Chain A
């Protein structure tokens, strides 16, 4: 497969001028969005993105891009979030690579039309479900996982045969600039475009009419995007933040539990959609848990996390101030609490004596703060969780499988994980998405392919056996009707055998 055509000189020059590392990027003008959308539509209508070879080539190009520019990604995320190399590679680059590899090895299978069960009247016919691409999709990333949230849906969109317009979050300016620079050099320039649009402009862009919109972010923004999409009847997939509860039972290995929770919570300095937001700890083990968490954090980041090269920073002053505010107005700080505005640094913090009505329990939390609440038993936990909106994830730490299955069956969430956190979102065969207030739709692996495809039902009949078909035509009479009713009441394992039409 030949290399994608090189970008037009004008675009190349603009992107070069704009994206020297270290410089904040400028926004593209609104008119350009329409032009890019038009180009993507034209190339979709020319059926460019539909052939299997094209899709495989593009997926391989994504892989190459990640491999060849790993250092650039590490650097960009380092500047944006002070993200250590390890976190960038493990939580941003590897998931995208896994998705791309999974898609490449399964693409043929996914693209096959599925045969469906036939019955007596269609034995001579072909009944298929064909997967078709939707058209041009719009993918809006979030700043929590800037690379992953843009590229994983992009992999799904490419695999399904669509063209795409990607809008990485402008909050992580360097990463967005990097994507804008790299994608035109690796992917087809007519089919895939990168735009940089502020959060307030996104709803307007959605109204330009796409065939599917993918958004991840906060609930308020999600609702606005959904309303804009409703104007043009555009289907949407929303992955929205929420407060993910985490229950720690009295029967569990406290050290390991603390380790896993601490890793999940303070990874990326708490700026994650899937991290456990707050802990509901059984009162018997609360002190031990807090102690274990303290030890863990000491081991992970040393006595002064500010000096540690493994700890990130807040993405911008807005989020910094918001988190600082929530932290200082809620509960009691038992560890951490130090902030440094110049560096946008907040120390890993644990809060106890937090009340349900505290500000930190009322709003989404993006920061390295972990409130620990006390509960007396599983019933209280379940009641507490069910009072809140349905979250993206529910976590339970326990040795008792009955407790785990109780919490799982009596609560509802996008996904569920016991005795670990965030790992279920890294597994490519499990769907990842929200329910209720935490979002609509799911993606990852095969589910991305399905989200960005249209499943068309096809029935290919012949003109034979018209005598059978003619039973359904008027003028109607009782004889025909009773034949048909009798035919459909013939059952074998409660399935009508005969549908004479």
Chain B
């Protein structure tokens, strides 16, 4: 089936209205969940072949996360898809005003190779929940996963609505010439620009998750041992190939040595003295990226690690000290197991260092000083500010937090309910009646001062919230007030009735 035909079929299937009933969407989500649990072993094997990720990592980082997203969607879909009432004013008092989420149509999801399943399926969950059709294009670089997805998805989900299109750069370019109702892209900025430009021709909205250099600031007053352990995990899991991995460390010179030592100890704990033989340590995805990452190290003597083996695409966990800010290592996103440490004289210098550069996807701050944390919240303009590593892509709790992208790190946001909102159209609906025309007369020409002031009054009247909460509050207050009134009256009457006779009786 050619690409064009697949897209056409998806459009027709969407046009038939199949995806509108919530039952259909719930059923598709359940089928997806079944696929993830029944085929877990195959998925883990494919990932092992692609990127040498251990079975535990896969489960931890991708599968549980996808499962949670599906569970959330299953549980909350009715609530998400329901119309949301808005506040009304005097003019619209007797009308119904609400926002109705509607599906957009057929969306295009372009996946990435570092977390091939999570990055492709989490937006797909949102697309299905919102009632769209979706064309899924997994990354060809993670070849085994891509082929497996192309085989599995049609077996579990509706074949027409969710076609999988495989292929490389040329095929993607052809795909982008077609018109979609939303494009969801994860990858590099260079390609992100091309995707957005292609979308602009058809006035298609986009969500781009691009990545960038996520800085990690370690304050001198914090538990460096724990901080380093968390950073190490965040950095070296998936062999550094994570968009939100801490890219480089900023710290003061006095703690640099301690940081290196703690990371060394943690690496020993995690991967043993020889990470190459540890089953938990990953590899670089392909030769091109391997060469790129090795090239970044050129000219710098690492203080730890640095060994590489081209035949296995293995690069040892590597730390580089005192990296100058203008080096090649600090110009592009590393996306590999190299961790440069740049020294700064304090929080202020760190802030200006970060602000000078492009807005990153994530920002990490390790400090026990509340002041520093508050500043961190206020100053930096990036996707996430955390005191720990790795909130989003993994199953770390916060699926309700958005993964938001700004500036060079992308645009739009998703996860949980926000994917649903992003892939829906929030349509404003106002249902008026043809009655009460006398109020409307004020707005028609020919005009005079009196009509004008009446129209002004109607349009500028304050907003009143007529949601359930207000009704309940109003009714319960009224009931309580009446109750109090009755009690008061009763008391007064009782007092009067029981009061002694004016002429005292014996």
Chain B CB within 8 A of A338 CB? no
A301 vs B444: C-alpha distance when bound (angstroms):
10
Query: Which residues of A sit under 8 angstroms from B223, Cβ to Cβ?
Result: 463
Query: Which residues of A sit under 8 angstroms from B397, Cβ to Cβ?
Result: 118-122, 127, 499, 501
Chain B CB within 8 A of A334 CB? no
Query: Which residues of B sit under 8 angstroms from A95, Cβ to Cβ?
Result: 459
Query: Which residues of A sit under 8 angstroms from B392, Cβ to Cβ?
Result: 457
Size of interface on A: residues with Cβ below 8 Å to B? 118
* A485 x B59 contact (CB < 8 A): yes
* A419 x B411 contact (CB < 8 A): no
Query: Which residues of B sit under 8 angstroms from A94, Cβ to Cβ?
Result: 456, 459-460
Quick one: CB contact mask for A401-436 with B, threshold 8 Å, 1 for yes?
A: 000100011101111111110011011111110011
Chain A CB within 8 A of B377 CB? yes
Q: Which of B75, B200, B396, B429 contacts A227 (CB 8 A)?
A: B200
Pairs A–B under 8 Å by Cβ, sample size 13:
A86-B452, A125-B387, A127-B401, A129-B401, A230-B193, A238-B203, A300-B444, A410-B17, A419-B434, A427-B88, A440-B204, A457-B402, A476-B280
* A98 x B54 contact (CB < 8 A): no
Query: Which residues of B sit under 8 angstroms from A461, Cβ to Cβ?
Result: 386-388
CB distance from A227 to the nearest CB of B (A): 4
Size of interface on B: residues with Cβ below 8 Å to A? 112
Chain B CB within 8 A of A488 CB? yes
- A sample of 4 more A-B contacts (CB under 8 A), given A460-B373, A495-B75, A496-B395, is A90-B459, A122-B397, A416-B429, A474-B280
Main secondary structure of the interface of B (DSSP, over half): mixed
Selected interface stretch from B140-148, B287-295, B420-428 = B420-428
* A488 x B203 contact (CB < 8 A): no
A424 — nearest CB in chain B belongs to which residue?
B430
Q: Considering residues B67, B397, B459, which has the most beta carbons from chain A within 10 angstroms of its beta carbon? A: B397
* A263 x B57 contact (CB < 8 A): no
Chain B CB within 8 A of A472 CB? yes
Chain A CB within 8 A of B470 CB? no
A236 — nearest CB in chain B belongs to which residue?
B200
A86 vs B181: C-alpha distance when bound (angstroms):
40
* A459 x B434 contact (CB < 8 A): no
Query: Which residues of A sit under 8 angstroms from B56, Cβ to Cβ?
Result: 474, 476-477, 480-481
Selected interface stretch from B96-104, B161-169, B304-312, B495-503 = B96-104
Chain B CB within 8 A of A134 CB? yes
* B444 x A231 contact (CB < 8 A): no
Q: Considering residues B74, B196, B433, which has the most beta carbons from chain A within 10 angstroms of its beta carbon? A: B196
Question: Which A residues form the contact surface with B (CB < 8 A)?
Answer: 45, 84-86, 89-90, 94-95, 97-98, 101-102, 116-122, 125, 127-130, 132, 134-135, 211, 219, 222-223, 226-227, 229-231, 233, 235, 238, 240, 252-253, 256-257, 259-260, 263, 299-302, 308-311, 386, 397, 399, 404, 408-410, 412-420, 423-424, 426-432, 435-437, 439-442, 454-463, 466, 469-470, 472-477, 480-481, 484-485, 488, 491, 493-496, 499, 501
Chain A CB within 8 A of B38 CB? no
A85 vs B203: C-alpha distance when bound (angstroms):
36
Query: Which residues of A sit under 8 angstroms from B482, Cβ to Cβ?
Result: none
CB distance from B72 to the nearest CB of A (A): 7
Query: Which residues of A sit under 8 angstroms from B400, Cβ to Cβ?
Result: 116-117, 127
Known: A129-B402, A457-B391, A458-B384. A495 touches B72 (CB 8 A): yes
* A456 x B395 contact (CB < 8 A): no
Known: A463-B222, A491-B71, A495-B72. A481 touches B60 (CB 8 A): yes
* A473 x B68 contact (CB < 8 A): no
Query: Which residues of B sit under 8 angstroms from A134, Cβ to Cβ?
Result: 406
* A223 x B355 contact (CB < 8 A): no
A134 — nearest CB in chain B belongs to which residue?
B406
* A484 x B64 contact (CB < 8 A): yes
Q: Which of A127, A408, A426, A440 contacts B459 (CB 8 A)?
A: A426
* A223 x B432 contact (CB < 8 A): no
A401 — nearest CB in chain B belongs to which residue?
B431
Chain A CB within 8 A of B407 CB? yes
- Name the interface residues of B353-372: CB closer than 8 Å to any CB of A: 355, 368
Query: Which residues of A sit under 8 angstroms from B401, Cβ to Cβ?
Result: 116, 127, 129, 457, 459
* B463 x A418 contact (CB < 8 A): no
* A308 x B446 contact (CB < 8 A): yes
* B192 x A233 contact (CB < 8 A): yes
A491 vs B181: C-alpha distance when bound (angstroms):
35
- Name the interface residues of B412-460: CB closer than 8 Å to any CB of A: 412-413, 425-434, 437, 440, 443-447, 451-452, 455-456, 459-460
A459 vs B390: C-alpha distance when bound (angstroms):
10
* B203 x A456 contact (CB < 8 A): no
What are the nearest 3 A-B pairs in CB distance?
A: A226-B200, A310-B445, A476-B56
